[in-house]
Chain A
Amino acid sequence: MQAKPLETKKQYQEYVNDKSPNSPILKNCINAFWVGGLICSIGQIVLNICNSRGFSSEISGTIVSIILIGISAFLTGLNIFNRIGKFAGAGSLIPITGFANSVVSPAMEYKSEGYVMGVGGKMFTVAGPVLVFGISTSILVGLIYLIFNTQAITLV
């Protein structure tokens, strides 16, 4: 006894898709592309400068991470990063700036719960899972490498 002629799930889905506003995915992607590219380019410029000063590539990479994380942590603290994020979406989320943002923004939100359990604890609401899965996977990779003593695919 259905009141509406939308009998199947598929029809309902089509109806919903028809009525819901189109998310401007193309515009979002373009914004994400150039903001993300720009953040990476800043990193590349710092990397080039460090390399020309004679730092090894590992140290240069670490310097790039520290600088980008530092900048985005303070921009998040000043509420500027949120505005960039609203505009760029994944463009500011996917680079390592998004990691720093995900550390600072929950910490700011729970500041009223105190400096130890509020700020110190909530810092890792998002960054915690990232570290858990990243580090666990890296340990697995190391163990697999130890067992097989080779990288699984060598594309040369």
Chain B
Amino acid sequence: MNFLQSIDWLGLLRCFVVGGLLCVIGQILIDKTKLTPARILVAYVTVGCILGGLGIYKYLVDFAGAGATVPLTGFGYNLSKGAIEAVKEDGIVGAFTGGIKASAGGIAAAVFFGYIASLVSKPKIKKQ
């Protein structure tokens, strides 16, 4: 297979471990605290955004690649990275435009695919 050659296997292992550990932290938060999943999502994005702003999260991204960008902390990192880069170019307007510009693809995809997926789905009766 052609694309197998383009895969960095050691990087994939680092990605697997870091991504897995970020999920384990979330699992511990769910099991040990009274935080609802929605609050954990908010916390992850906010923490990622702050760590991105402090310049710390970049090192994790360099180390783990998608293992750091796919979890929601990476979404927050992307927002803050975009804001900082836009501030460098556009000044104060950049603080408002940069974050969404950098994560526009993800947000737009979530809205678009989310709406279509809800349309095609059959409403079901919840069995708990």
Flag if B109 contacts A69 (CB, 8 Å).
yes
**Of residues 32 to 62 in A, which have CB atoms within 8 Å of B's CB atoms?**
32-41, 43-49, 51-52, 58, 61-62
A153 interfacial contact with B, CB 8 Å: yes
Q: How far is the CA of A108 from the CA of B116 in the complex (A)?
A: 10
Flag if A146 contacts B24 (CB, 8 Å).
no
Closest to A152 in B: B54
Interface string of B26-51 (1 = CB under 8 A from A): 11111110000110111011100110
Flag if A47 contacts B118 (CB, 8 Å).
no
Q: How far is the CA of A102 from the CA of B117 in the complex (A)?
A: 12
Interface string of B90-106 (1 = CB under 8 A from A): 01101110111011011
Q: How large is the interface on B (under 10, 10 to 19, 20 to 34, 35 or more residues)?
A: 35 or more
Flag if A152 contacts B118 (CB, 8 Å).
no
Flag if B113 contacts A153 (CB, 8 Å).
no
Interface string of A75-108 (1 = CB under 8 A from B): 0111100000000111101111011101110011
Q: Which residues of B contact A104 (CB under 8 A)?
A: 114, 117-118, 121
Q: How far is the CA of A128 from the CA of B44 in the complex (A)?
A: 14
Flag if A74 contacts B113 (CB, 8 Å).
yes
**For chains A and B in complex, what number of residue pairs have CB atoms within 8 angstroms?**
303
**Of residues 12 to 45 in A, which have CB atoms within 8 Å of B's CB atoms?**
23, 25, 28-29, 32-41, 43-45
Give the dominant DSSP class at B's interface.
helix
Flag if A134 contacts B79 (CB, 8 Å).
yes
Flag if A134 contacts B40 (CB, 8 Å).
no
Q: How far is the CA of A115 from the CA of B121 in the complex (A)?
A: 13
Flag if A95 contacts B70 (CB, 8 Å).
yes
Flag if A96 contacts B70 (CB, 8 Å).
yes
Q: How far is the CA of A33 from the CA of B79 in the complex (A)?
A: 25
Q: Which residues of A contact B64 (CB under 8 A)?
A: 40
Q: How far is the CA of A69 from the CA of B108 in the complex (A)?
A: 10
**Of residues 50 to 73 in B, which have CB atoms within 8 Å of A's CB atoms?**
50, 52-56, 59, 64-67, 69-72
Extra A-B contacts (4), CB below 8 Å, given A41-B19, A134-B42, A141-B52: A43-B69, A63-B105, A76-B117, A98-B72
Closest 10 CB pairs of A and B: A40-B19, A36-B23, A142-B95, A138-B99, A37-B20, A90-B26, A142-B83, A141-B53, A52-B6, A77-B117
14 CB contacts below 8 A, A to B, read A29-B24, A40-B66, A48-B11, A73-B114, A76-B121, A93-B37, A102-B41, A115-B119, A130-B38, A133-B42, A134-B49, A137-B49, A141-B84, A141-B95
